[in-house]
């Protein structure tokens, strides 16, 4: 018993189909096949019943779109221990990139099926070129709705492999408004004309960045009295745990250093800052570090997408209560006023968090005139962090 998995139009594999006693695949790919084999029309992920039928057949053929080893059915067949022969085709991501006349080695590919949708959205918010394998209820319109506030071009290949296949390039507003034929595929781009930077690794810029994280304060344009020492930033980032697929709020962002560093580690980021002068610096700093973050200038926090982690550089009770109530998995609060530490802990604990923290005092090495080394105190910071 062997299942031959064929990627692409079955018309190219008539000899394989003629030798089969069971053929499984979507009608659009089976074409006008009318052989002696039993046919099961199946589109999308294989059901348990179809897998059982494939396992029981003496000679079965599974026809799929593109490469079955690329987010495809090959994995589930291997997991069942079913012997396979694979004849892959060109993936739909490759075809979509070719239709746009752009390379595709810089494209990050994500699946939006099920609970992965939110992670897929956050990758689209964070990266410059993302292909999204959509699913019912998680298609171009739903994706575009979650990308409000981010500048993105949306390329949609709809009715993939079908007679009405069509490529459209629209902005997020148009993508949300239109109804799209299924199955479809989305390519989310910061610029439709950019071709991407050549890398040594496929899938976009790897994380963590080559020059590490917790960069010195001099790496960010700011003004006197506003900034996060690198030693503090290192601990904050460790507690926020930014990574691809997550969304981080940087509230009272100042120069945006923490949010920008989170973005460099792969997270989608919203920087919240009311000071117009600092907003200008956040934009400049994000551009200098080649990350794309959303700036929420005076927006109400409750209007923003739900974060996975929140950094709050203030212990203002109203902001703290709002951040504690949004449902993030992690919250880190910088508490300048020691008399607010207990209130901060109680607020977070009352919102269902396990709370911890520390008072962090740092001193940096300083060379002296006689060639020795001394320690110069630089900062004393109280951090409170909380996790669900």
**Could you report the per-residue pLDDT of 185-205, keeping only the tens digit for each?**
999 999 999 888 888 899 988
User: Smallest Cα–Cα separation from 192: which of 167, 172, 165, 170?
Assistant: 170
pLDDT for 10: 57
CA–CA separation, 167 vs 181, rounded Å?
Answer: 11
Q: Is the pLDDT of residue 61 over 90?
A: yes
CA–CA separation, 227 vs 129, rounded Å?
Answer: 31
Q: Is the pLDDT of residue 227 over 90?
A: no
More confident position, 256 or 224 = 256
Q: Is the pLDDT of residue 1 over 80?
A: no
Distance (Å) of CA 344 to CA 125, 251, 258, 382 = 31, 16, 20, 11
User: Residue 13 gets which letter from DSSP?
Assistant: G
Confidence class for position 299, pLDDT limits 50, 70, 90: low
Average pLDDT over residues 298-307: 86
Average pLDDT over residues 257-266: 98
User: Smallest Cα–Cα separation from 315: which of 332, 346, 340, 339?
Assistant: 340
Count CA atoms closer than 13 A to 140's CA, side-chain side: 30
CA–CA separation, 240 vs 329, rounded Å?
Answer: 9
Mean pLDDT score of the chain: 93
Confidence class for position 39, pLDDT limits 50, 70, 90: very high
Average pLDDT over residues 8-15: 65
pLDDT for 172: 96
Average pLDDT over residues 340-358: 97
Distance (Å) of CA 20 to CA 8, 13, 79, 317 = 17, 11, 22, 69
Predicted model pTM: 0.90
More confident position, 30 or 166 = 166
pLDDT for 12: 58
Q: Is the pLDDT of residue 376 over 80?
A: yes
Cα dihedral 213, 218, 222, 223 sign: positive
User: Smallest Cα–Cα separation from 109: which of 209, 7, 188?
Assistant: 188
Q: Is the pLDDT of residue 291 over 60?
A: yes
Q: In what order do the strands lie in the sheet with 108-111?
A: 108-111, 129-133, 184-189, 153-158, 166-171
Q: Is the pLDDT of residue 163 over 90?
A: no
Average pLDDT over residues 79-101: 94
């Amino acid at each position: 018993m062997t299942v031959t998995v064929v990627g692409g139009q079955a018309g190219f594999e008539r000899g394989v189909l003629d030798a089969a006693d069971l053929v499984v695949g979507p009608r659009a790919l089976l074409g006008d096949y009318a052989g002696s084999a039993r046919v099961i029309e199946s589109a999308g992920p294989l059901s348990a019943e179809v897998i059982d039928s494939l396992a029981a057949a003496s000679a079965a053929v599974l026809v799929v779109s593109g490469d079955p080893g690329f987010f495809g059915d090959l994995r589930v067949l291997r997991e069942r221990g079913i012997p396979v022969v694979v004849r892959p085709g060109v993936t739909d991501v490759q075809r979509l990139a070719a239709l746009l006349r752009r390379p595709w080695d810089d494209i990050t590919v994500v699946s939006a099926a099920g609970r992965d949708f939110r992670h897929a959205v956050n990758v689209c918010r964070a990266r410059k070129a993302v292909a999204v394998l959509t699913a019912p209820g998680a298609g171009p319109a739903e994706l575009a709705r979650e990308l409000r506030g981010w500048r993105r071009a949306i390329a949609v290949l709809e009715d993939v492999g079908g007679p009405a296949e069509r490529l459209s390039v629209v902005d997020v507003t148009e993508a949300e408004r239109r109804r799209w034929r299924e199955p479809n595929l989305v390519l989310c781009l910061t610029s439709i004309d950019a071709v991407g930077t050549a890398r040594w690794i496929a899938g976009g810029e790897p994380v963590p960045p080559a020059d590490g994280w917790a960069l010195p304060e001099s790496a960010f344009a700011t003004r006197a009295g506003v900034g996060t020492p690198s030693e503090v930033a290192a601990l904050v980032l460790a507690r926020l745990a930014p990574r691809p697929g997550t969304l981080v709020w940087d509230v009272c962002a100042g120069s945006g250093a923490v949010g920008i560093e989170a973005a460099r580690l792969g997270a989608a980021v919203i920087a919240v800052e009311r000071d117009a002068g600092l907003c200008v610096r956040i934009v400049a700093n994000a551009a200098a570090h080649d990350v794309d973050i959303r700036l929420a200038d005076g927006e109400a926090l409750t209007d923003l997408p739900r974060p996975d982690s929140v950094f709050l550089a203030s212990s203002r009770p109203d902001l703290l209560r709002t951040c504690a109530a949004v449902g993030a998995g992690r919250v880190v609060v910088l508490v300048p006023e020691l008399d607010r530490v207990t209130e901060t802990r109680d607020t977070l604990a009352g919102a269902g968090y396990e709370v911890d923290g520390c008072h962090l005092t740092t001193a940096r090495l300083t060379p002296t005139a006689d060639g020795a080394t001394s320690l110069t105190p630089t900062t004393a910071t109280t951090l409170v962090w909380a996790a669900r």
